[in-house]
Structure 1
Amino acid sequence: MKHAQVRQAAEALFDQHRNPFGAFTIGSETHHPVSIPDAVRRCRWIAVDLNATGFGLYFASPSPERPRLVPCFDSDYPGVSVASKFLSGATGEDMVRHCRASTQPRWWADDGMPGSDAVFRHLHWAEPTDALVPGTSGIAFPVQAERGQCGLIVFTGTQISLPQDALYEIHARCFSLFTAVARIRPGDAGRIKAMSKRELECLKLTASGCTSEDIARVLKLSVHTANQYLTQSTQKLNAVNRMQAVAKALRLGLIE
């Protein structure tokens, strides 16, 4: 019943101007491809509507032996936040099992602020859970997509505001976003390791046609160090050479 209500809420968003994604139905907006930077912006819009300060989108690993959440992006994109490091560890194992079987949102209040739990306790359907990120308050929305992909979109903050009548709409927007991200990252979703600023700079200069010597001169590095950054970025992107690494970085929106 609850999953059907989420879908109905998604349908009800059609023609509502306050939706930052633009009008959509289950058969339209959810199927539009987006870039990862665009997905980050969309997720940030949802966070703004919730008055949340942190957010993250995670895929559930397909391995049954080691259930874990794999970060796709979070509010520190293109880096990885401290919250994601907690969620991708043992903290997220129970949530992986939960999101594989249910779409019921889960919330927690562990920030020590009086009344934080009151924000969530009135929500019907949503249930409390142990803190996914110690010292924070937040809510996690299980989401699903085609090909059996499932995951979680998480929002954290000390002043989150979520009225009951907005719960299903927010969840529907999370479904829409996850479906779009799953379509553009069907095989490597969430598997890219965090890239350092220097690695991204070297890739961006390579994309502009710079050689290792050019990169070293621009960034005031040795040629050896520039090559090392390029090697590291190539490995992190699971590419066979630096040009394929550039192509992957462009496709994933890591560089422009």
Structure 2
Amino acid sequence: MQKQLRARNFALLRISGGGLPGNRKLVCEIENWGQEDGGQLEMLIRSYGELMLDHIETSLFPVAWTGSDHMSFIEAQEFNPLLHHLPADVLPFSGLGFPIRLGAMGNGYVLFTASSLSLTSDLIVEQHLRSCQIMTDLLALDERRSAPAQTLSEREIACLQLAGDGRISEEIAENLGLSVHTVNAYLGSATMKLDAVNRIQAIAKAIRLGHIN
């Protein structure tokens, strides 16, 4: 993405604080500023953090700012009205940010900085969609890291797979040669192991964790 946009740096910022207005803040998850330019990212969050937090509550339009380097958005005039412009000349560098709102821990921004970005409307839309996918991948990685220590048994996985295919307990029991009571017991234990609130969430988590497809 960085190469396609001809950007110098990127960062993925996630909103932490449980959604409470007084506790919310932008936290960097991934960046390539490095030690030499690391202070610039802190400067960006300090300067625009509150404005970006307010913006994402009401809009998913990309944000842009022009720094003292006077960045130019090349070939994006038709998209310019849909960019939310932050105050100019606050930072020594310019940039573009894609807001992402996936709920709970999946809210934040993917940012790019450069002295000049070669943009078209199609490219902006494409990069916004890819930014959402990056956040989705990060959430999946978080889920894998926090996966419970207890592993699912083969029977639990088989019951979850069939349930995920839309089979009811009676059909699963007939398919696996088990009683309905045993099938429900396997599904219940799998739900607890996956720290899910119900069978549907257990199936969704099992898919994300790669247990079933």
- TM-score grouping bracket, smaller chain normalisation: 0.5 to 0.7
RMSD: 3.0
Matches within 5 A, 1:121-140: 121-123=77-79, 124-131=81-88, 134-140=91-97
Q: Is 1:50 equivalent to 2:5 in the alignment?
A: yes
1:140 Cα offset (Å) = 0.6
Residue matched to 2:61: 104
The 1:133/1:65 distance shift into structure 2, 3 A limit, reads same
Aligned identity (percent) is: 23
Q: Which residue of 2 aligns with 1:176?
A: 133
State whether structure 2 residue 25 is matched by structure 1 residue 68: yes
Amino acid at match of 1:48: K
Q: Equivalent residue of 1:155, what SS?
A: strand
- Hey, what does 1:251 align to over in structure 2? none
CA distance in 1, matches of 2:138, 2:29: 9
Give the 5 Å matches for 1:1-256: 46-62=1-17, 63-76=20-33, 81-113=38-70, 116-117=72-73, 121-123=77-79, 124-131=81-88, 134-147=91-104, 149-185=106-142
Aligned position for 1:204 = none
TM-superposed CA distance for 1:88, in Å, is 3.2
SS in 2 for 1:49: helix
Q: Distance in 1 between matches of 2:140 and 2:127?
A: 20
Shift of the alpha carbon at 1:149? 2.7
**Uncovered stretches (5+) of structure 2, i.e. residues with no partner:** 146-213
Aligned to 2:166: none
How many angstroms does 1:122 deviate by? 3.9
What is the TM-score when the length of structure 2 is the normalising length?
Answer: 0.57
SS at match of 2:72: coil
Amino acid at match of 1:85: E
Choose 1 or 2 for highest CA Rg: 2
- Secondary structure of the 1:160 match is strand
User: In the superposition, relative to structure 1, how do residues 132 and 74 fare at CA in structure 2: closer, same or farther (>3 Å)?
Assistant: farther
In the TM superposition, what is the alpha-carbon distance from 1:167 to its structure 2 partner?
A: 1.4
1:111 deviation in Å? 3.3
Alpha-carbon distance, 1:174 to partner: 0.4
CA distance change for structure 1 residues 129 and 56 in 2, over 3 Å: closer, same or farther?
same
Q: Which has the higher contact order (CA 8 A, sep 6+)?
A: 1
Aligned residue-pair number: 142
- Name the SS for the 2:82 alignment partner: coil
Counterpart-to-counterpart distance in 2, 1:155 and 1:119: 17
Contact 2:66-2:89 within 8 A present in 1 as well: no
Uncovered stretches (5+) of structure 1, i.e. residues with no partner: 1-45, 189-256
Distance 1:158 1:119, change over 3 A: farther
Equivalent pair of 2:74/2:117 in contact (CA under 8 Å): no
